[in-house]
Structure 1
């Protein structure tokens, strides 16, 4: 393991996995143990399932899987094409979960408009739309590597920036959703401010904030210098690709 990762990077990757596991446990605990908070008592079982699915899909399916896709470039052994293929597949799964997670809100008993009035809902739509555009560009770029090599080199920094920005935006969107839901429940008196559910939701918010910082730090951390040899370094010009 030491030959593949440096000690700081290995520690970051391990910490990211532990943070993701903690977040997954907390969101499942909230969604399954405190599921009655997600919908009024008189609602149908189908409405309850859709309401519970929304946080699970958006946190575990969208945020955690997209975070793992970002980390693939740092931990997965093998060729560059293999890493890009796994990255693209994981991002595709995350996008599907994000779309389905938003779709569940369209089945609320109050209708579509009533579920898209808040800052959380607007940010969610923007985030998934940006993520979808990013994935589509990456998909087209992957299957047309030779034809647009120089364009890919120029676009890559923006692709990385928008990927990390969208991931961070997804976490912020989730935080606004947690705050909105918890404030609503506390205002109605359904949840105590110092109760167990409040502690779970606040812990989930802290876990997401910690996870996002670790993932982004691992993504931007420099690679080990000894793996970058002049024989394998690729230098791109405006017109062609040269190997030094």
Structure 2
């Protein structure tokens, strides 16, 4: 299927992937070069997993998960396959986000630092909880085949809006976290003197922001939306209301019943005519 503005879409997608990948690379370089590396010992090296996992999973992988429906070369794939890929990527992002929270809380508890006192921590925990609820709702309603189509149609706009809202909130929370870390960590020289680490992390924050902006632009363009699959229309035989179901062909059980009824009436009429002709012939003999 052709996409309107395909070249523009492709250019923005490549740019978004480039900014997202560079964000992950710069985060790893930051913690390895400026923050001492990575470990799982309850100290500052364990905390370094927090920004790495957040940027990798909660930013980059979630951004990819949001855009999978917009890829035109996947439009011929089944909707269920794309739903599974979308859910799988979001599940990976959720796991990495949870591990990042564990590293942050473990570091605070080991160093006797109070938990949940900053705006970054409040919004960060809230957005992780919302993300988990969003993932659970999507799994139960849109991935499993048990929810009725009417419920899916009702919740789909809410699901889409919440996905974009959560992603944007994650970007804002990451920027707050980067600033907070620099303010607490850079003392000599101070962050206000613009040391090399401060410049490096500022560039990282800029890349994260641009990545988030590109992803939000791509997923909000109506001309780049995945085309709807043909509807399966089912009419109840008893004259009930019709129900729309996703599918590749339309079946109208009401018309089938009507055709069968007409066929039965025609057969009965032929039998009556044959019986009448035989009776007439016998009476004339």
Structure 1 runs, 4 residues or longer, greater than 4 Å off: 1-5, 235-239
Structure 2 CA distance for partners of 1:147 and 1:7, relative to 1, 3 Å? same
Q: How many residues align?
A: 235
Is 1:62 matched up with 2:58?
A: yes
Question: Paired residue for 2:221?
Answer: 221
Could you tell me how far apart the structure 2 residues matched to 1:115 and 1:104 are?
A: 12
Instruction: Quote the residue 2:106 is aligned against.
Output: 107
How far residue 5 of structure 1 moved from its aligned partner, in angstroms, is 7.5
Q: 1:98-133, CA deviations, whole angstroms, 9 ceiling, x for partnerless residues?
A: 11100111212234x713210000011001000000
3-state SS of paired residue (2:124): helix
Per the normalisation by structure 1, the TM-score is 0.85
> How far off is 1:79 after superposition?
1.7
SS in 2 for 1:145: coil
Kindly state the Cα deviation for residue 228 of structure 1 after the two structures are TM-superposed.
4.9
Task: Establish whether residue 71 from structure 1 lines up as the match of residue 67 from structure 2.
Answer: yes
- 1:97: how far off? 0.5
Normalised TM-score (structure 2): 0.74
Unpaired segments ≥5 residues, structure 2: 235-240, 252-285
Worse overlay, 29-38 or 197-206: 29-38
Most deviating of 145-154 and 190-199? 190-199
Tell me how large the CA RMSD over aligned residues is.
Answer: 3.0
Which of 222, 225, 240 is matched with 2:243 structurally? 240
CA distance in 1 between partners of 2:161 and 2:3 (Å):
29
Distance in 2 of aligned mates of 1:50 and 1:88: 28
Change (3 A) 1:182 1:80: same
CA shift for structure 1 position 147: 3.6
- The residue that corresponds to 1:93 in the other structure is 92
Structure 2 CA distance for aligned equivalents of residues 28 and 22 of structure 1: 10
**Aligned equivalents of 1:59 and 1:125: distance in 2?**
15
Q: Distance in 2 between matches of 1:216 and 1:235?
A: 32
Q: Does 1:81 align with 2:80?
A: yes
Question: Residues 69 and 228 (structure 1 numbering): CA distance in 2 closer, same or farther, change over 3 Å?
Answer: closer
Matches within 5 A, 1:1-244: 6-36=6-36, 46-75=42-71, 77=74, 78-108=77-107, 109-111=110-112, 114-186=114-186, 188-191=187-190, 193-223=193-223, 228=227, 232-234=229-231, 240-241=243-244
Per-residue deviation at 1:195? 2.0
Instruction: Report the Cα offset of residue 143 of structure 1.
Output: 4.2
Distance in 1, Cα, partners of 2:11 & 2:2: 11
Report Cα offsets for 1:199-238 as digits up to 9, x if no partner.
Answer: 111001111110111001111112369x858xx5449998
| CA-CA distance at 1:49 after TM superposition | 3.1
Deviation, structure 1 residue 181: 1.1
Q: Which structure 1 segments of 5+ residues have no match?
A: 39-43
